[in-house]
């Protein structure tokens, strides 16, 4: 590095970063009304999910669960149903567990200290720092993928960052750089900068408010020594059956408490057509999950009676119960191709 860490820290222009954020920040509902519960819910929703996916779902979700007490009272199945389509369902289960813990131990209120927040189910250092700084103004930094990239480039750091020593370095920088007057805006500004300007590929360095002191440049298309997601992923193939009786009712079940899509409603995976079953249509859906490609093959049949031991009801009842996104997409394909009501 051509400059010392102390010199680089002194050259970090927090005022310029905040001025850029004031002019360029996206108007997001959890920013416009940053109550602790709203911020906490938004952070859980945004984990591994893009903003554009969360935006159309956020306010509806908050109307259903405007407080930890409302969520705890509604129950986990209701939360999973409302979460359907956002993916990574362990986040929904963690959020429900958080609501229970807040009601039991914190009088239904979100605590304002980052260390206390980290004691909640599924809350790590990043989420705790985000909620504490944004909702409560606690002077604490945070590190996510975007912040990691901004700080690594600004500091000109080429050593590995995904090991324990690298993470300690990043968190040290984040906490030293954070603005003590506007910590929440500072943290959101760094995340916004990484998402929109300091991008993984083709960063817009000329637009960056930190460009004057940055030790990186346009050649840093990737953070050095960070592992990339492998392009080749295992393919998991599964079957689903849409069974429709004479009343246009369909059969479904709730999945087990463990495993993929646990506790969510789903279509039958195994079924043997009888002589009276009439094939209505077929469909194929592929859905990229975190570490696999899920390939769902669906077949729709008209049957005289639905199999025993399954829940059943009108088509819309199944969709309102909140099946996983992949199953819902397959269901709609079968519904369209088979002219099911």
- The catalytic residue positions are 43
Distance between CA atoms of residues 341 and 168, nearest Å: 56
Strands 293-302, 235-244: pairing kind: parallel
Residue bearing tokens 């087990």: 256
Coil/strand/helix, residue 239: strand
Q: Which two tokens stand for residue 101?
A: 């813990």
Distance between CA atoms of residues 248 and 312, nearest Å: 10
Coil/strand/helix, residue 157: coil
Distance between CA atoms of residues 44 and 131, nearest Å: 11
Residues 6+ apart with CB under 8 A from 56: none
Exposure letters 233-272 (e unless 16+ CB within 10 A, then b) = eeeeeeebbbbbeeeebbbbebbeeeebbebbbbbbeebe
Q: Which H, E and C letters describe 308-329, residue by residue? A: CCCEEEEHHHHHHCCCCHHHHH
Coil/strand/helix, residue 297: strand
Residues 6+ apart with CB under 8 A from 296: 238, 239, 240, 284, 285, 286, 287, 326, 327, 330
Distance between CA atoms of residues 313 and 163, nearest Å: 51
């Amino acid at each position: 590095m051509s400059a010392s860490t102390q010199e680089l820290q002194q050259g970090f222009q927090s005022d310029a970063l905040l001025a850029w954020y004031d002019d360029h920040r996206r108007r997001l509902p959890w920013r416009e009304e940053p109550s602790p519960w709203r911020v906490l819910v938004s952070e859980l929703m945004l984990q591994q999910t893009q903003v554009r996916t969360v935006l159309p779902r956020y306010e509806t979700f908050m109307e259903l669960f405007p407080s930890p007490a409302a969520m705890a009272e509604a129950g986990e199945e209701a939360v999973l149903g409302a979460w359907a389509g956002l993916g990574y369902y362990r986040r929904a289960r963690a959020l429900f567990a958080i609501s229970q813990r807040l009601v039991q131990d914190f009088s239904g209120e979100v605590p304002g200290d980052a260390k206390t927040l980290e004691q909640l189910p599924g809350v790590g250092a990043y989420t705790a720092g985000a909620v504490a700084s944004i909702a409560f103004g606690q002077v604490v930094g945070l590190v996510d993928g975007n912040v990691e990239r901004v700080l690594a480039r600004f500091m000109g750091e080429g050593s590995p960052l995904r090991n324990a020593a690298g993470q300690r370095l990043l968190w040290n920088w984040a906490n030293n750089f954070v603005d003590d007057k506007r910590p929440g805006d500072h943290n959101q500004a760094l995340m916004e900068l990484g998402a929109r300007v300091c991008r993984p590929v083709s960063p817009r360095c000329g637009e960056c408010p930190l460009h004057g002191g940055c030790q990186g440049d346009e050649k840093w298309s990737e953070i050095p020594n960070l592992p990339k997601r492998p392009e080749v992923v295992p393919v998991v193939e599964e079957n689903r059956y849409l069974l429709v009786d004479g009343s246009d009712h369909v059969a479904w079940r709730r999945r087990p408490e463990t495993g993929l899509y646990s506790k969510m409603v789903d279509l039958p995976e195994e079924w043997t057509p009888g002589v009276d079953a009439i094939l209505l249509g077929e469909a194929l859906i592929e859905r990229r999950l975190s570490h696999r490609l899920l390939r769902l093959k669906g077949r729709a049949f008209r049957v005289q009676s639905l199999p025993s031991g399954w829940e059943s009801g009108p088509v819309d009842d199944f969709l309102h119960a909140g099946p996983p996104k992949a199953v819902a997409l397959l269901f709609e394909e079968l519904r369209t191709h088979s002219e099911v009501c």
